[in-house]
Structure 1
Amino acid sequence: MDRFFQLKQNNTDVKTEIIAGATTFLSMAYILAVNPNMLADAGMDSSGVFTATAISAAIATLIMAFLSNYPVALASGMGLNAYFTYSVCIPLAQQGINDPWKIALTAVLCEGIIFILLSICKFRETLINDVPKNLKYGITVGIGLFITLIGLSNAGIVIASSSTLVDLGAVPSAPFALAFLGFLIICILQHHKVICPILWGMLATWIMGMIAQAAGWYEINAQLGHYSVFPDFKGASFIPSMPAFFAFDFGFIAENFMQFAVIVFSFLFVDLFDTVGGLIGIADKGNLLDKEGKLPRASGALLSDAIGTVVGACMGTSTVTTYMESCAGVGQGGRTGLTSVSTALFFIAALFFSPIFLAIPGFATAPALIFVGWLMISSVKKMNFEEDMADSIGGFVAIVMMPFTYSIANGIMFGILSWVILKILSGRAKDVPVIMWISSLLFALRIITMIV
């Protein structure tokens, strides 16, 4: 084990790596409650999604361990699951398409295959470098706002309004009050540098919800989506439910190729920034970058992420990607793939506790969504609004279009189109990289199909 994972060379040992792996798991275990909750809105079975989320996370994390020997964990990505549900499945359902999640899974599969090819030929790093920084950060910030809006909506903090589009929800209601309090708890834990603040804050909100239900403050009302927050162990099974294996729908592609291509391309863009940004951040935290600031064995790490995406699609869950929460394990001394092996084993063990994770209500996962939104919004500090107008407006459009049109794809599409058009009109067309020309052409054709 020491020889395979090079423990001595990385100044670590088995005990440290296992503790680090457990820390990483606890830091990202919230996805086991959030992902089934979110993908259920896409029409998927939450129990099957839970199984798919845990298994795909375990497999992808093991692949990362053996291909790159990095202490990096993977799971269904926040932001990517929001795009899957609210930008792909719900709009397709509104078009009258049955089981739109099968089309979304097909898009995730195609995205993963493309990423595998890009990773093998090492084009993925080049692709990252050719996308303007302001657009990268703008897309991240926009997704953060979008996720925040979903969390606020799930807790009833923000509600729809016929007169003002959105309005404040019922402040005295238990979901509103508990979700907001849960968010503050996460913030306090983060301030005091408590390990796994999101998980503990989410669990604290859930416990308060059970107290509220017992006291009669939180009332069960199926029409409002208020169900019992107590786990039901009577009829529950601790045997994992079957996920939606290979539930693909390729028939949609032939008749709606341009729409499908835009879906795949949007998945590509979001996953691209998530993965590379996550890997660099984790490597920097663990002093794993070389003297030039580059990530050794980057190709193996990127390939692991791409394979994980394909595995997730085949299992029946949204895009699997690198998790920044791996920094928690790195902070505990994790330096090698043995940390990832440990995290993967915890995900496998979690498979047999689905009744507990699935009982966590939407208002208890809302604080996690809002807090992750806050983390992503902080990227706005890296944006430059002073120099190039195309960079400024392109990033700005990406930010505002995502939450205000309730679509990550719209933000990416109009952000890129704005950037390219302004570059052309300002006489700087020669500065537009090939990938941006291809992207803008694809999105322009998509807009034409929407008009016609």
Structure 2
Amino acid sequence: MSKRPNFCTHVTMLERCFKLQAEGTTVNREVLAGLTTFAAMAYILVVNPIILHAGGKTGLELAGLISVTALAAALGCFLMAALTNYPIAQAPGMGINSYFASVVVVGMGVPWEGALAMVFWNGIIFLILSISGIRKAIIQSLPNCMQIGIQCGIGFFIAFIGLKNANIIVDNPFTLVSEGDILKPAPLMALGGLLIMSALTVRKFPGAIIVTIILLTILGLLIPSGDGTITEKPDGFFGLPASMGQTFLALDWLYPFRHWQTALPVVITLLIIDLFDSLGTLIGLGRQSGLMNEKGEMPRLNRALTADALATIGGALFGTSTTTAYIESATGIEAGGRTGLTSVVVGCCFLLALFFTPVLTIVPAAATAPALIMVGLFMAQGLKHINYRDLLEVAPAILTALLIPLSFSITHGIMAGIIFYVLLMALVGRAREVTIGAWLIAAVFVGFALL
């Protein structure tokens, strides 16, 4: 009579698959980290469908897009875990989804079937670049000061998003941004949550981030805001997922070839945005989590980039814009995530979300904002690695770190920083110290800016 597998057997299997002991982590810590990452990025289940739907202008059905978003995110997370064993989650990218819907489909009049085909072929090109090692070579050609600037810039970006989401920082027609009314319920709750989260972290309380998010979500049900409460009461707890039959494998595969004059600049734009968004995110997360080795290199980087490319291809087949690595993965890493088990947990949460969307989407921005702010502050600690006595390191690093959040774009921040770096090195007579790869990246960016 065969023995039934018990809990210890499952733990042993997870240990063997994800090398938990070697990475200095446990199953409980990885699960907690996965839940933390999912809580920080669950908003994508609501936001991505709304952006792609564009008020009905794109022709894509809103309900089906929720299922598409969840499945694309789950696939991306599973691919990253299987190929790299990294605690990095993937989902349809923000920013690039706006470009897809507002610029390409609505603005240029490209049918969504043709636009999805552009995303698909862009993913194929990505895959070729990843397998060939070209994308890895691009990262290795970036000087250390630029990598530090990217890490810290992403940290500032995450913190800025958190401050913005909680209305602690708001737009201002005269100063661009200014302090919001922090005495209003949502900003006050977010600031209080940041204090609680920080205190728990200092005291090394397990699950400080996810516990604070849950606490604030529950508290939000009791705090009035506008016509209701900060946390909206769910319509229910369970719901069947909507069909994604409209978009699944509905690409107009040959549209980019039939309309190459329209498609070529779009594919190039998608390529550059996704390339440097993913590279910037991987560099930042790699440095924060200690995935970088003593040489400043990220092991299994080509596999991570391949997972990114395959997720983009799979997402296009499902019916969404480019899928990419998410900076919110930093919340799970800060919570202790060190292996692909964290990513698997995130992926499973996205699959469960297909049935529990009414509950999972009620987490308010004021509850997740403290996590984003605190993680951003942790990532910004990379500034300590800059040689402040050398302006050739300080200037490009700080400029990049500032421009990523201020331009609200990882790609544009890297673009400005690398161009500034190579020109500065040339002007001081040290052009030979700049790698050929850095010169080529700067040249590509200049050409991209002129398009």
Shorter-chain TM-score above 0.5 = yes
**Long gaps (5+) in structure 2:** 1-8, 54-60
The residue aligned with 2:281 is 274
Q: Report the CA distance between 1:209 and its aligned residue.
A: 1.7
The residue aligned with 2:325 is 321
Q: Equivalent residues in 2 for 1:397-436 (5 A)?
A: 397-436=399-438
Contact 1:109 1:314 in 2 (8 A): yes
Aligned-partner SS, 1:160? strand
Q: Report the CA distance between 1:84 and its aligned residue.
A: 3.1
**Long gaps (5+) in structure 1:** none
Q: 1:256 to 1:28 in 2, by over 3 A?
A: same
CA distance in 2, matches of 1:48, 1:118: 32
Contact 2:116 2:321 in 1 (8 A): yes
Q: Give per-residue Cα distances to partners, 1:293-316, cap 9 Å, x unaligned.
A: 977766545433432343344442
Q: CA RMSD in A?
A: 4.3
TM-score normalised to the size of structure 1? 0.75
Aligned-partner SS, 2:90? strand
CA distance in 2, matches of 1:326, 1:310: 25
Question: Which has the larger displacement, 337-346 or 126-135?
Answer: 337-346
Aligned-partner SS, 2:16? coil
Contact 2:37 2:346 in 1 (8 A): no
Q: Report the CA distance between 1:212 and its aligned residue.
A: 0.7
CA distance in 2, matches of 1:90, 1:8: 39
CA distance in 2, matches of 1:396, 1:417: 14
Q: Report the CA distance between 1:33 and its aligned residue.
A: 2.4
Question: Which has the larger displacement, 104-113 or 168-177?
Answer: 104-113
Q: Equivalent residues in 2 for 1:365-380 (5 A)?
A: 365-380=368-383
Q: 1:132 to 1:144 in 2, by over 3 A?
A: same
Q: Give per-residue Cα distances to partners, 1:233-254, cap 9 Å, x unaligned.
A: 1xx7622234665687976973
User: Quick one: which amino acid aligns to residue 402 of structure 2?
Assistant: V
Contact 1:107 1:264 in 2 (8 A): no
Q: Equivalent residues in 2 for 1:156-171 (5 A)?
A: 156-171=167-182
User: Quick one: which amino acid aligns to residue 437 of structure 1?
Assistant: W
- Are 1:196 and 2:212 counterparts? no
Question: Which has the larger displacement, 295-304 or 130-139?
Answer: 295-304
Q: Which among 66, 81, 84 is matched to residue 96 of structure 2?
A: 84
Q: How many residues align?
A: 424
Q: 1:397 to 1:109 in 2, by over 3 A?
A: farther
- Are 1:303 and 2:310 counterparts? no
Contact 2:288 2:379 in 1 (8 A): no
CA distance in 2, matches of 1:386, 1:48: 55
Aligned-partner SS, 1:378? helix
Q: Give per-residue Cα distances to partners, 1:375-423, cap 9 Å, x unaligned.
A: 332222223332252x332222222223333333331221111112112
The residue aligned with 1:240 is 241
Q: Which among 149, 167, 171 is matched to residue 138 of structure 1?
A: 149
Aligned-partner SS, 1:320? strand
CA distance in 2, matches of 1:439, 1:71: 27
Q: 1:38 to 1:151 in 2, by over 3 A?
A: farther
Question: Which has the larger displacement, 365-374 or 236-245?
Answer: 236-245
Contact 2:146 2:396 in 1 (8 A): yes
CA distance in 1, matches of 2:63, 2:199: 32
Q: 1:271 to 1:64 in 2, by over 3 A?
A: closer
The residue aligned with 2:162 is 151
Q: Report the CA distance between 1:351 and its aligned residue.
A: 2.7
Contact 1:283 1:295 in 2 (8 A): no
Q: Which among 6, 29, 33 is matched to residue 24 of structure 1?
A: 33
CA distance in 2, matches of 1:425, 1:176: 46
Aligned-partner SS, 1:7? helix
User: Quick one: which amino acid aligns to residue 379 of structure 2?
Assistant: M
CA distance in 2, matches of 1:194, 1:367: 16
Aligned-partner SS, 1:360? coil
Q: Equivalent residues in 2 for 1:150-229 (5 A)?
A: 150-213=161-224, 218-220=225-227, 229=232
How many percent identity over aligned positions? 27
Q: 1:46 to 1:204 in 2, by over 3 A?
A: farther
- Are 1:387 and 2:402 counterparts? no
CA distance in 1, matches of 2:66, 2:235: 16
Q: Give per-residue Cα distances to partners, 1:282-333, cap 9 Å, x unaligned.
A: 5759xxx8x99977766545433432343344442653327456657976xx
Q: Give per-residue Cα distances to partners, 1:23-76, cap 9 Å, x unaligned.
A: 3321212144232355467455886565445423432343345445x3645323
The residue aligned with 1:120 is 131
Q: Report the CA distance between 1:363 and its aligned residue.
A: 2.7
Q: 1:37 to 1:369 in 2, by over 3 A?
A: farther
Aligned-partner SS, 2:390? coil
Aligned-partner SS, 1:167? strand
CA distance in 2, matches of 1:295, 1:161: 40
Q: Which among 89, 106, 121 is matched to residue 74 of structure 1?
A: 89
Contact 1:72 1:326 in 2 (8 A): yes
TM-score normalised to the size of structure 2? 0.75
